[in-house]
């Protein structure tokens, strides 16, 4: 999902640690699709049986979505597996909002696991939707409702309409990072107001960046304590109500063992990642609509 663009200097500092973990071998990649959209270049590469959507040449800033073409229902990327662990906090969400479609891996898997659930899938770029359908086995239907819109615009509209969601996933990236207007306390407060009682927010971010401390204090300002999962990427799991304890999470994880195994997810590896321990500077300034990543970049060091 595209929005404001950060400068190249900011981009370089932001992705240095994450790019190595997320970038396939450039020499082995085969470009199978390329198109220029209003927001970005949308590319599809294949390396062996792994097919990935990227927003930069040779996937040099990581990958948006990957599937194994021999087993498209099996998860390839660690961050998507961590996002699925939101089900350990609320095992039976009926209404789900996902901001940022990518290849549609998450809604496809959740729709299989949760036959009663209905989805609003918000993606700003029509080209991403087309590529997801053509190359990543994503098929919108009556349960998978795709809305081509800016994520924040949709959230504001959903608030006015009184919508509530049991699970909200934030997975919107442009070719550099999460768009600035989807990082702020104001936006996260808007998202929090859409959560039902017992609803869960799952947000995908980088595990190492110049924004890490600021993102963390911003989530804490809105949600208080949250679960912080880190493996390549970082996934924040937050609720408006008290978080379930680790014993409850482990018990719920076991109920998904068989279904997750079929998707290549080992729930036993996910449970130890759940921690509420702060690994950031609690004095870092909260991100707001007035104090954004651009402010941080331009500040004197």
Catalytic residue IDs: 171
Q: How many DSSP H helices and E strands does the chain contain? A: 11, 12
Specify the DSSP element, H or E, that contains 153: helix 151-160
3-state secondary structure of 161: coil
Rounded CA separation 222/239 (Å) = 10
Backbone angles phi, psi at 265, to 5 degrees: -110, 125
Angstrom distance (rounded) from CA 87 to CA 265: 13
Burial 52-62 (b: 16+ CB within 10 A, else e): bbbbbeebebb
**6 φ, ψ (degrees, to nearest 5):** -85, 160
- Tell me how far apart the alpha carbons of residues 207 and 10 are, in angstroms, rounded to a whole number: 16
Closest alpha carbon to 222 in 196, 189, 200: 189
User: For the chain, what is the radius of gyration of the CA atoms?
Assistant: 18
On whether the CB atoms of residues 55 and 44 are closer than 8 A, the answer is: no
Whole-number Å distance between alpha carbons of 45 and 25: 11
Q: Cα-Cα-Cα-Cα dihedral of 65, 174, 47, 133, to 10°?
A: 50
Residue pair 80/88 in contact (Cβ under 8 Å)? The answer is no
């Amino acid at each position: 999902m595209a929005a404001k663009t950060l400068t190249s200097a900011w981009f370089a500092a932001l992705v240095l640690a994450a790019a190595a973990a997320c970038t396939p071998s450039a020499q082995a990649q085969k470009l199978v699709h390329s198109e220029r959209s209003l927001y970005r270049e949308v590319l599809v590469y294949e390396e062996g049986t792994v097919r990935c959507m990227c927003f930069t040449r040779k996937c040099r800033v990581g990958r948006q979505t990957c599937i194994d073409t021999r087993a498209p229902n099996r998860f390839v990327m660690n961050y998507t597996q961590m996002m699925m662990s939101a089900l350990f906090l609320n095992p039976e969400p009926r209404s789900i909002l996902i901001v940022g479609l990518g290849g549609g891996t998450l809604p496809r898997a959740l729709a299989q696991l949760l036959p009663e659930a209905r989805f609003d899938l918000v993606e700003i770029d029509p080209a991403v939707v087309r590529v997801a359908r053509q190359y990543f086995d994503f098929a919108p239907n009556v349960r998978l409702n795709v809305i081509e819109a800016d994520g924040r615009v949709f959230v504001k509209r959903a608030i006015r309409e009184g919508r509530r969601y049991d699970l909200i996933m934030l997975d919107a990236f442009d070719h550099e990072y999460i768009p600035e207007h989807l990082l702020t306390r104001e936006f996260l407060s808007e998202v929090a107001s859409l959560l039902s009682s017992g609803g869960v927010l799952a947000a995908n971010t980088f595990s190492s960046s110049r924004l890490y401390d600021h993102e963390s204090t911003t989530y804490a300002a809105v949600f208080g304590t949250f679960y912080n999962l880190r493996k390549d990427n970082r996934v924040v799991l937050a609720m408006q109500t008290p978080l379930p304890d680790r014993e409850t999470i482990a018990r719920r994880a076991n109920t998904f063992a068989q279904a997750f195994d079929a998707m290549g997810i080992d729930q036993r590896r996910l449970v130890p990642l759940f921690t509420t321990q702060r690994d950031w500077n609690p004095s870092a300034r909260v991100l707001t609509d007035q104090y954004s990543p651009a402010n941080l970049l331009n500040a004197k060091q």
